[in-house]
Structure 1
Amino acid sequence: MTDMGKVFWLFSILCHFAFQTATPQNCTGLVEISFQEIKDALVKVKEIDVLTNKIAVLETNLATLKKYVPSVIFHVKVSDGKDPEIKKRIIYDSIILNTGSAYSPSTGKFTAPVSGTYWFAYSVLGLLTSQNTVVYLMRNQKKQSYIHSVLNRDQAQTGAMTLILPLHKGDEVWLYLANGMAWTGDGSLSFQGVLLEANEA
């Protein structure tokens, strides 16, 4: 529809509401529309078109954000007394938060639901009898970082590590107790992760 057509359509609507019905008999005033009235009406029509286009762009952007930026946050720990086995993956069985359900308490693995940049943190507290405790953060069978706690007997100290990793969709991240023994009391053996930025591709 042309701008002029929109103007006549607009005046027809106004006439309809004024007379409850739009007929040539009661809307003859339409032919007497002044140039200024037409000009003002065109401005209003263009303003409506601009607003309509802005709404369409906002709706598209919102759909894109919903598609590529899912909420992925998890915070898990090992329950008190469930000491992990040496040379095995640590199973964090107690879930505090698992938005997006990307962490599996049955396997101990976090699986990236989308490609993007992720932040991870983990901690370990070696037992008093464990003088050499090592925990690795793994990604697809490859070591990415680790905590190595070396203390004298009857000493203990919490170690913590944070890192940022670029992951592809389907990449798996987990913790592996390579040496020593870890204390699980009061959530001392924990694992957290957050999606910082998702990739569109």
Structure 2
Amino acid sequence: MFLLILFCGLSFCSGVQNTKVQRETSGNSFLWIIAKQLARLEDKVQDIQKQYNSKDKEIETIKEILQSKKFDAVKTPTVVFKARDLRTDVNLIGKRLVFPNMIVNHGSGYNRRTGVFTAPVSGVYLFSLQLCPELKASIHMHIKVRKSGHVIGDLNFKNQIGRQCVSANGVDFLSRGEQAWIYCTSASSSGDVIVIADHGNSFSGVLLHT
């Protein structure tokens, strides 16, 4: 009887011990799974952080590019002029045309006494000429650039129908100090060929880009 009781006691203790070991083993497995999930979550967080840093760098690069473009736009100075009303139209052949009345001269490039524009900065310039010839008068004018010798605008016209104005344009790159003006190549006579009183007679120019 005693031996039976002892055997039962030992069996019970063994069962309790096995259950404890199983519980400990099961608990360790659960903790391992949790640790594994946390590790994966940490990896995902790091990946997201890397993506965020990459996007942040892209945004900064775009900002720098935009700032650079903005700076480029700002650094082009304002150079523009317009002069009108011819000083004279007598004996113009082989001479420069002078427009003495200034409408605007931002950059101080145009000389109203000589009729010559001197580029204050290097860049691409657009020039425009408008003239109002006398009836039955013919004129041939060039917009010329001194250093290069380019003829960048050509106005050739004979007025046969009454009062009207004609124009010519020219674009060229001028270095700083280079000059442009209007030159009379030919005219129908040495006398009056242009309506002096007409404010439509003008010479203008503007800096497009440096």
Quick check: TM above 0.5?
Answer: yes
| C-alpha spacing 1:72/1:191, structure 2 compared with 1 (3 Å) | same
Counterpart for residue 186 of structure 1: 198
| C-alpha spacing 1:140/1:58, structure 2 compared with 1 (3 Å) | same
Q: Aligned partner of 1:138: which letter? A: K
Counterpart for residue 140 of structure 2: 134
| C-alpha spacing 1:60/1:143, structure 2 compared with 1 (3 Å) | closer
Partner of 2:122, secondary structure, is coil
| C-alpha spacing 1:150/1:54, structure 2 compared with 1 (3 Å) | closer
Q: Distance in 2 between matches of 1:103 and 1:133?
A: 23
Shift of 1:102: 1.1
Q: Distance in 2 between matches of 1:56 and 1:157?
A: 52
Q: Distance in 2 between matches of 1:99 and 1:157?
A: 29
Counterpart for residue 91 of structure 2: 86
Counterpart for residue 77 of structure 1: 84
Q: Identify, as 1 or 2, the structure richer in helix.
A: 2
| C-alpha spacing 1:136/1:59, structure 2 compared with 1 (3 Å) | same
Identity level (%): 23
| Aligned alpha-carbon RMSD (Å) | 3.6
Q: Distance in 1 between matches of 2:71 and 2:204?
A: 28
Q: Distance in 1 between matches of 2:73 and 2:195?
A: 41
Counterpart for residue 40 of structure 2: none
Larger displacement relative to structure 2 (162-171 or 55-64): 55-64
Match of 1:148 among 130, 147, 156: 156
Q: What are the superposed Cα offsets for residues 17-63 of structure 1, whole Å, 9 maximum, x if unpaired?
A: xxxxxxxxxxxxxxxxxxxxxxxxxxxxxxxxxxx999998887766
User: Do 1:122 and 1:162's aligned partners in 2 also have CA atoms closer than 8 Å?
Assistant: yes
1:161 and 2:161 correspond: no
Partner of 1:185, secondary structure, is coil
Structure 1 unpaired stretches of 5+ = 1-51
| C-alpha spacing 1:137/1:86, structure 2 compared with 1 (3 Å) | farther
* Structure 1 residue ranges, 4+ long, deviating more than 4 angstroms after superposition: 52-67
1:174 and 2:186 correspond: no
Structure 2 unpaired stretches of 5+ = 1-59
| C-alpha spacing 1:133/1:156, structure 2 compared with 1 (3 Å) | farther
User: Do 1:136 and 1:143's aligned partners in 2 also have CA atoms closer than 8 Å?
Assistant: no
Match of 1:96 among 98, 103, 106: 103
Partner of 1:184, secondary structure, is coil
Q: Distance in 2 between matches of 1:73 and 1:101?
A: 9
Shift of 1:136: 1.4
1:110 and 2:117 correspond: yes
What is the TM-score when the length of structure 2 is the normalising length? 0.57
Count the aligned residue pairs: 160
Shift of 1:159: 1.2
User: Do 1:73 and 1:98's aligned partners in 2 also have CA atoms closer than 8 Å?
Assistant: yes
